[in-house]
Chain A
Amino acid sequence: MPQSGQEMLDETISTCKSIADGLGTQNQDWENSVIEIVEKFEEVSGTFFFKTMPSVPVTRTAMRDAASALELKNASDWDGMTTAVEILIASSQNLIEKAGMKGTTLT
């Protein structure tokens, strides 16, 4: 069976934690942003939205953006990291709004 929205969110949180781990040595702003994303995702985790199929596309996008950012970090490709974090913030923002946290702004 394909992954559920909740399973994708769990994976995204885990990936984001790996991204954030030690990222501050390269750029503290990046680390702060990713930690904030993890905090917001943990707030919405387990809510009704993630049991529903409409959560799948938006969560999948955030999951893939997080995976791309982690790949760059693991490759020490810091040139692409600014863009990757910006993309991750955008997809995460979209996700938490869809999950019912309108009014929250990720930085």
Chain B
Amino acid sequence: MSDSTVYYMDAHSESTETALAAKMITVFDAAGLDEIVKPNDIVAIKVHCGEWNNSAYLRPLYARQLADRIKELGGRPFVCDTTTSSYSPWGSRTSEIDILLTAERNGYSSATLGCPFICADGFIGTSDFVVDIPEGYILKEAYVAQAIAAADALIALTHFKGHSMGVIGGALKNLGIGAQSKRGKFNVHMGGHPTYGLGAAGVFHPENFKGKANTPDWEILEDCCPFNLYHINEKDELEWDGDKCANCLGCFGVMGPRGLMDIPPVQFDAVDAAIADACLGVEKAVGRDKVGYINMALDVSPRCDCANHADVPIVPHLGVFASKDPVAIDMACVDKAREAEGIKGSAAEMMEAHHAGDKKFEAAAATFHGQSEVTSINTGHEIGLGSREYELIECEPDSPERFRFPYDTRPSRQRFGERFEKFQPFPYDKYDGKGFNRLDVVDLDKVKHHYEDSPEITEVGESVHADGDD
């Protein structure tokens, strides 16, 4: 029995109306997300703008296409992301000034989007709106980024991929982490939690610190924490004030590999459950009937767009999904990924989880053995955010006219005939009307031949290529 509906189109594209940007709008409308937007509504489009040097994040084209559609519907769109926790000592989106610079480098700006790009939680990440979530599985409140909470409607435009902590990075995480303010992220990441926080569950191993003299990069042990909780004392011992740990995650990549901190896998499980709670908090802040979800399951990299790199995708492009249910849409993407064969040479193959049916994100994306790719989904189901039972409806392409270049819809002669006469681009007056200085006939077989297969040409063939000239 299906409780929710997910609208879907595969990733194949061979025409104007099957372009992925066109399919995104087709599923948006099919899912009824156009009905969420009323005239004069301020509509937040929540994206992940990508970390510095990540290259798998969604191309800004999709946000632009969606913003244009929202304008057609009478809405006033803005595209947004939020400041991150200082999860890396060298993060590129930790403050508003940093995220705007990174977003612009990654192509997200008013010039490309046709609407503002906003850092939704303020300069440091403390601009938020607190929502009570008594239904929450673990969280009882969420700190929603102010610009998102203030919007009349919200579309989560999500790049579906893997995530080292969330295992999957889908719609739930786009809002459950991505729409939280910085302090909201500390909340979801279990900062200060008496059971699952790093301060409570992490096991500190100062005995593995070999002293400054034997640790050439010792300064980073102190500098990785923006809360100044790690110190090397006068006895040359490493100390950690774990009780004050906010779970910014900044020390994970510094302390873990050095054997100085056992990072608790249970914290990751708790975060994955809390992600669904926080997503519910966002829906409650905006209005539960005013939030829609689009998952673009393309370039399905094992790591999130918050990594400063992007690995080989673990599965081929899965397609374009839309729904009013974040649980169902993520479940549909997980199911599609599970059905798919993994990509040769990807982390899925390296982990021997590349067969159809394998749980690819648990193998190729998770940090710890035992993490589940459905924890957030199951939690969302439990708390009434949505349903993991869904009906998948495959949409037919819309008309090509709808997705053509919109600024001048006339065909070529009408658009360029007079201009070409005035500024003739083809030199008909040269070389007896042939226009250019070229040989009449050349041996094309000679340059088509694969000389590594045989040194001599044995067949004569001819082919015509007519796919355009540039």
Contacts and interface: CB of A to CB of B under 8 A. Distances in A.
Nearest to A98: B257
A101 to B, nearest CB: 10
Assign chain A's interface to a size class: 10 to 19
Of B257, B262, B353, chain A has the most CB atoms within 10 Å of the CB of B257
Contact of B259 (A5, A48, A52): A48
Contacts of A4: 369-370
26 contacts: A1-B369, A2-B353, A2-B363, A4-B370, A5-B369, A6-B369, A48-B257, A48-B259, A48-B261, A48-B263, A49-B257, A51-B265, A51-B368, A52-B368, A53-B351, A53-B364, A53-B366, A53-B368, A53-B369, A56-B351, A56-B363, A57-B350, A57-B351, A60-B352, A100-B257, A100-B258
B345 interface: no
A47 interface: yes
A53 B262 CA distance: 15
Contact of B367 (A47, A53, A57): A53
Interface string A1-41: 11011100000000000000000000000000000000000
Interface string A46-64: 0111011100110010000
B256 interface: yes
B259 A51 contact: no
* Contact count band on B: 10 to 19
A56 B368 CA distance: 10
A49 B265 CA distance: 12
B109 to A, nearest CB: 36
Interface in B253-298: 256-259, 261-263, 265
Nearest to A53: B366
Interface of A: 1-2, 4-6, 47-49, 51-53, 56-57, 60, 100
Top 6 A-B residue pairs of the complex, sorted by shortest distance between their CB atoms: A4-B369, A57-B350, A48-B256, A53-B366, A48-B262, A51-B368
Contacts of B257: 48-49, 100
A4 B369 CA distance: 6
A57 B368 CA distance: 13
A53 B258 CA distance: 17
Contacts of A51: 262, 265, 368-369
Nearest to B265: A51
Nearest to A58: B350
A45 to B, nearest CB: 13
Nearest to B261: A48
A51 B265 CA distance: 8
A1 to B, nearest CB: 7
A44 B257 CA distance: 12
A48 B261 CA distance: 8
B333 to A, nearest CB: 20
Counting chain B CB atoms within 10 Å of each CB, which of A4, A6, A49, A56 scores highest? Answer: A56
Interface string B204-233: 000000000000000000000000000000
